[in-house]
Amino acid sequence: MKKHLMILFVALLSSAVAFAQAVKEATVKISGEVSAPFELKLADINQFPQTQVSRKDRDGKDHIYTGVLLSAILQKAGATMGKDLKGENLAKFASVEASDGYQVIFALAELDKEFTDRQIILATTIDGQPLAPTDGPFRVIVQDEKKPARCIKQVTGIKVAFAK
Amino acid sequence: MAANKNIPVTSSIRRWLLPCFALVFIATIAWTYQPDPIPMGPYQLVYPANFGNRINVPDDNPTTQQGVYLGRMLFYEPLLSANGKISCGTCHQQALAFTDGKAFSEGVDHTLTPRSSMSLANLLWARKFFWDGRSESLEKQAAVPMTNPHEMGQLMQTSAHKLMKTAPYPELFRKVFGDEGIDGPNIMKAIAQFERTLISANSKYDQYLRKQYQPTRLELQGLALFENAPQPAKSIRGANCARCHGGAKTYMELFHNNGLDSIPKDIGIAELTGLPGDRGRFKVPTLRNIALTAPYMHDGRFKTLDEVLDHYSDHVKRSESLSPFLRGESNEVNGKSLALKPEEKKAVIAFLNMLTDSTFVTDPRFSDPHQNIAKNK
């Protein structure tokens, strides 16, 4: 009996270890034409100023999304934003990728507040609650864009590149 | 001509005799001399403009005619397997749109692969390979089945060694890669070059897009259902297939949990990412030649297209990681499933049959060259 219990215990322990190893935390990898690439975790969000954007979802209702301006994230990674966003740097874009392989792009100038007042954020909450697992934990919300196609869900990476 | 009038006939014959002799002599040499059959130079990848130019060819492996020639030889070369019986072409047969018609494929050690062999078509545009997208190039992809002990089961060095001792490979590799010769990376590069040429663009659907084919009423109904998302409030019926399989290539590089299981036995890309949201998520396959590539899904669980349609229409299973567009999409107000009518399923299948490209599956450029050589001997 003792032997069986021991085997059961070891089996449980090893499966618990395997489960702990298998489940990872979702992150957003900022890379490409940036001087300080980094990986953004959910806990890192609080170090950025929070921005709220309201937009309609598929249910036709307005929702308040809270998150960080993409420009602030790119600025931290050392992308050419603000005063550096001129000349050839205007031929740069941010390619945002989701875990299902979906991909959308934004010209850097579309994200910079010196060019536009439209806010594009990496949202982490909807109406004060964490995003649903199928949408988050990170989702881009584009203020006032007519179609939701660029409000890309389950974001895993943002890569800055030059248009060639 | 007037000047020749006075020349005697015999002298005229003599004058022509020598050139005629020379001609016959040259013709005889040409007849017996075997010209180099290996085409050389850059390979022109030809495809329709509506496929787009977002192709995936690595800078260090440009496509050449000689590279494609060698790649085709290697694709069908059983020497690349441990038992000398399995080639890439074993699990990727042209007549079946480069699948093998099985749920799982048998490897050199007689075990079965964990997932179904994928159809090879229009890989020129692909950026993620395998059901879980683990490789970002055809070059890297090729190494996996070749060296996996349960598939072709042979070290690249062993394959290279075998090829070094087999004509015409040493000469062929020299023609393609210069002095680098035969090694693992070059074997994979050549195979990848051949695979990039597997372009399927002449199905009835392509012909319809080129305005060269008028679909039947049933096919057109199927196309409309294929493209539409269901909107019962507006009386728009749809099967929502284009959400993942839309566009001229009927292929978008997406990974989805399509509701096969609530608790998947195979967790798909979650095995690589460890993310709970990726459980049961697999690559969306191309629908090109879909009528030829049964059985369906990563584990070949569905034997027919009817079963596939039944799944999407009525049997999608809920789970945390089920893709959002499969949740609550219905042709009925407040419906729980897509709920396609039997005749609508028939129409979608009629459209899917339009994706069969018979020129692609019979194109001699993609066939086994060793068989042709054997036939000509």
Is residue B37 a contact partner of residue B376, using CB atoms and an 8 Å limit?
A: no
Question: How would residue B315 be classed by pLDDT, with cut points 50, 70 and 90?
Answer: very high
Query: What interface predicted TM-score (ipTM) does this complex get?
Result: 0.77
Residue B322 with chain A: CB contacts under 8 Å: 134
Compute CA B227 distance to the chain's CA centroid, rounded to the nearest angstrom. 24
Q: Is B322's CB within 8 Å of A134's CB?
A: yes
Instruction: Say what percent of chain B tops pLDDT 70.
Output: 89
Q: Is B77 exposed, middle or buried (0-12, 13-18, 19+ CB in 10 A)?
A: buried
Find which of B275, B286, B325, B334 to mutate to test the A interface (most A CBs within 10 Å of its CB): B275
Nearest of B133, B267, B315, B51 to residue A100 by alpha carbon: B133
Query: Would you call B273 an interface residue with chain A, using a CB distance cutoff of 8 Å?
Result: yes
- Does residue B320 belong to the interface with chain A, where contact is any CB pair within 8 Å? yes
Contact B254 A100 (CB under 8 A): yes
Q: Is residue B20 annotated as involved in ligand binding?
A: no
What single DSSP character describes residue A135?
T
Task: Please tell me the distance from the alpha carbon of residue B223 to that of residue B220, in angstroms, as a whole number.
Answer: 5
Number of helices (H), then strands (E), in chain B: 15, 2
Give the model confidence (pLDDT) of B81-103 as tens digits. Answer: 999 999 999 999 999 999 999 99
Domain extents in chain A = 27-162
CB contact under 8 A, B324 and A26: no
Question: Over 50: is that where the pLDDT of B35 sits?
Answer: no
The three-state secondary structure class of A14 is: helix
Q: Is B102 on the interface with A (CB under 8 A)?
A: no
pLDDT digits (tens, 9 = 90+) for A69-91: 999 999 999 999 998 999 999 99
Structure tokens at B230: 């269901």
Topology given in CATH for the domain delimited by A27-162:
Sulfite Oxidase; Chain A, domain 2 (3.90.420)
Residue of A nearest to B282 (CA): A100
Q: Which residues contact B84 (CB under 8 A, 6 or more apart)?
A: B78
The residues, any chain, with a CB within 8 Å of residue B370's CB and separated by 6 or more, are B73, B76, B77
- Nearest-Cα residue of chain A relative to residue B273: A24
Tell me: pLDDT of B363 over 70.
yes
- Tokens 């001997």, residue? B377
Which residues of A sit within 8 Å Cβ distance of B?
21-24, 26, 99-102, 133-135, 153-154
Predicted TM-score of the model (pTM): 0.84
- Cβ neighbours around A138 below 10 Å, total: 26
What is the model's pLDDT at position B18? 54
Q: Which domains does chain B have, with CATH numbers?
A: 62-199 (1.10.760.10), 204-353 (1.10.760.10)
Does the annotation flag B110 for ligand binding? no
Question: Nearest-CA residue of chain A relative to B257?
Answer: A100
Residues of A in contact with B327 (CB under 8 A): 134
| pLDDT the model gives residue A17 | 45
Which residues contact residue B233 at a Cβ distance below 8 angstroms, ignoring those fewer than 6 apart? B333
Q: What is the pLDDT of residues B264-286, one digit of tens each?
A: 999 999 999 998 889 999 999 99
> Is there a contact between A156 and A29 (Cβ–Cβ < 8 Å)?
yes
**Residues in chain A closer than 8 A to B319 (CB atoms):** none
Q: CB burial class (10 A; 0-12, 13-18, 19+) of residue A112?
A: buried
Side-chain-side CA neighbours of residue A45 (13 Å): 22
Assess whether pLDDT exceeds 80 at residue B22: no
pLDDT in tens, A101-125: 999 999 999 999 999 999 999 999 9
Residue keyed to tokens 């399923």: B345
